[in-house]
Amino acid sequence: MWISLPSSYKDKKVISIGIASELTGLSERQIRYYEERKLIFPERSKGGTRKYSFGDIERLVDIANKMEDGMQTFEIRREEMKKSSVRNKMLRGQINAAFKMRE
Protein backbone atom coordinates (compact mmCIF):
# COMPACT_ATOMS: atom_id res chain seq x y z
CA MET A 1 0.00 0.00 0.00
CA TRP A 2 1.26 3.48 -0.92
CA ILE A 3 1.15 6.57 1.32
CA SER A 4 1.23 10.06 -0.22
CA LEU A 5 2.18 13.36 1.39
CA PRO A 6 -0.73 15.82 1.21
CA SER A 7 -0.29 19.44 0.10
CA SER A 8 -1.95 22.69 -1.04
CA TYR A 9 -4.98 24.35 0.52
CA LYS A 10 -5.71 21.75 3.15
CA ASP A 11 -2.39 22.25 4.87
CA LYS A 12 -1.77 25.96 4.53
CA LYS A 13 -1.92 27.60 7.94
CA VAL A 14 -4.06 30.66 7.29
CA ILE A 15 -6.98 30.50 9.71
CA SER A 16 -7.12 32.62 12.88
CA ILE A 17 -8.39 31.19 16.15
CA GLY A 18 -11.66 33.11 15.96
CA ILE A 19 -12.53 31.53 12.62
CA ALA A 20 -11.30 28.15 13.85
CA SER A 21 -13.68 28.51 16.76
CA GLU A 22 -16.61 29.24 14.45
CA LEU A 23 -15.70 26.38 12.14
CA THR A 24 -15.38 23.78 14.87
CA GLY A 25 -17.87 24.99 17.45
CA LEU A 26 -15.12 24.81 20.05
CA SER A 27 -14.30 27.78 22.29
CA GLU A 28 -10.98 29.56 21.81
CA ARG A 29 -10.10 28.42 25.31
CA GLN A 30 -10.60 24.80 24.31
CA ILE A 31 -8.54 25.16 21.16
CA ARG A 32 -5.64 26.75 23.05
CA TYR A 33 -5.85 24.06 25.69
CA TYR A 34 -5.61 21.27 23.10
CA GLU A 35 -2.46 22.94 21.85
CA GLU A 36 -1.08 23.02 25.37
CA ARG A 37 -1.76 19.30 25.52
CA LYS A 38 0.12 18.76 22.23
CA LEU A 39 -2.89 17.72 20.20
CA ILE A 40 -2.70 20.52 17.67
CA PHE A 41 0.20 22.56 16.28
CA PRO A 42 -0.70 25.94 14.77
CA GLU A 43 1.89 28.24 13.27
CA ARG A 44 2.37 31.78 14.53
CA SER A 45 2.44 35.14 12.80
CA LYS A 46 5.28 37.55 13.54
CA GLY A 47 3.04 39.15 16.12
CA GLY A 48 2.28 35.82 17.75
CA THR A 49 -1.27 35.11 16.59
CA ARG A 50 -2.09 31.46 15.90
CA LYS A 51 -2.73 30.22 12.37
CA TYR A 52 -4.51 26.94 11.57
CA SER A 53 -5.03 24.93 8.38
CA PHE A 54 -8.19 23.18 7.20
CA GLY A 55 -6.40 20.00 8.15
CA ASP A 56 -6.13 21.38 11.67
CA ILE A 57 -9.85 22.19 11.62
CA GLU A 58 -10.62 18.58 10.73
CA ARG A 59 -8.35 17.37 13.49
CA LEU A 60 -10.08 19.68 15.98
CA VAL A 61 -13.49 18.32 15.03
CA ASP A 62 -12.08 14.83 15.46
CA ILE A 63 -10.71 15.77 18.87
CA ALA A 64 -14.06 17.27 19.85
CA ASN A 65 -15.81 14.00 19.01
CA LYS A 66 -13.38 11.96 21.05
CA MET A 67 -13.69 14.32 24.01
CA GLU A 68 -17.45 13.89 23.82
CA ASP A 69 -16.91 10.15 23.97
CA GLY A 70 -15.20 10.70 27.30
CA MET A 71 -11.67 10.24 25.99
CA GLN A 72 -8.97 12.27 27.76
CA THR A 73 -6.39 14.45 26.03
CA PHE A 74 -3.48 12.15 26.80
CA GLU A 75 -5.36 9.21 25.31
CA ILE A 76 -6.03 11.13 22.12
CA ARG A 77 -2.40 12.12 21.92
CA ARG A 78 -1.28 8.54 22.44
CA GLU A 79 -3.58 7.44 19.63
CA GLU A 80 -2.22 10.09 17.24
CA MET A 81 1.37 9.15 18.01
CA LYS A 82 0.64 5.56 17.16
CA LYS A 83 -0.80 6.57 13.81
CA SER A 84 2.13 8.80 12.87
CA SER A 85 4.50 6.07 13.96
CA VAL A 86 2.91 3.63 11.53
CA ARG A 87 2.91 6.30 8.85
CA ASN A 88 6.61 7.01 9.34
CA LYS A 89 7.42 3.33 9.08
CA MET A 90 5.57 3.13 5.79
CA LEU A 91 7.31 6.24 4.48
CA ARG A 92 10.67 4.77 5.42
CA GLY A 93 9.63 1.66 3.57
CA GLN A 94 8.88 3.72 0.47
CA ILE A 95 12.19 5.52 0.69
CA ASN A 96 14.03 2.24 1.01
CA ALA A 97 12.13 0.84 -1.93
CA ALA A 98 13.01 3.89 -4.01
CA PHE A 99 16.68 3.46 -3.19
CA LYS A 100 16.61 -0.17 -4.15
CA MET A 101 15.07 0.69 -7.49
CA ARG A 102 18.02 2.99 -8.20
CA GLU A 103 20.51 0.17 -7.70
- Which residues would be at the binding site for DNA (CB under 7 A)? 16-19, 27-30, 32-34, 37, 45-50, 67, 72-74
- Taking the alpha carbons at both ends of the chain, their separation in whole angstroms is 22
Per the CB < 8 A criterion, the answer to whether 10 and 57 are in contact is no
Q: How far is the CB of 13 from DNA (least distance, A)?
A: 12
Among a second copy, DNA, none, partner that 10 touches (CB below 5 to 8 angstroms by kind) = a second copy
Binding to a second copy by CB under 8 A, coded x per residue (else -) over 43-72, reads --x-----x--x------------------
Per the CB < 8 A criterion, the answer to whether 63 and 89 are in contact is no
- Mapping DSSP onto H, E and C, the string for 30-70 reads HHHHHHHCCCCCCEECCCCCEEECHHHHHHHHHHHHHHHCC
Binding to a second copy by CB under 8 A, coded x per residue (else -) over 26-45, reads -------------------x
Q: How far is the CB of 64 from a second copy (least distance, A)?
A: 18
Total number of residues shown for the chain: 103
Residues within the interface to a second copy (CB under 8 A): 9-10, 12, 14-16, 18-19, 23, 45, 51, 54
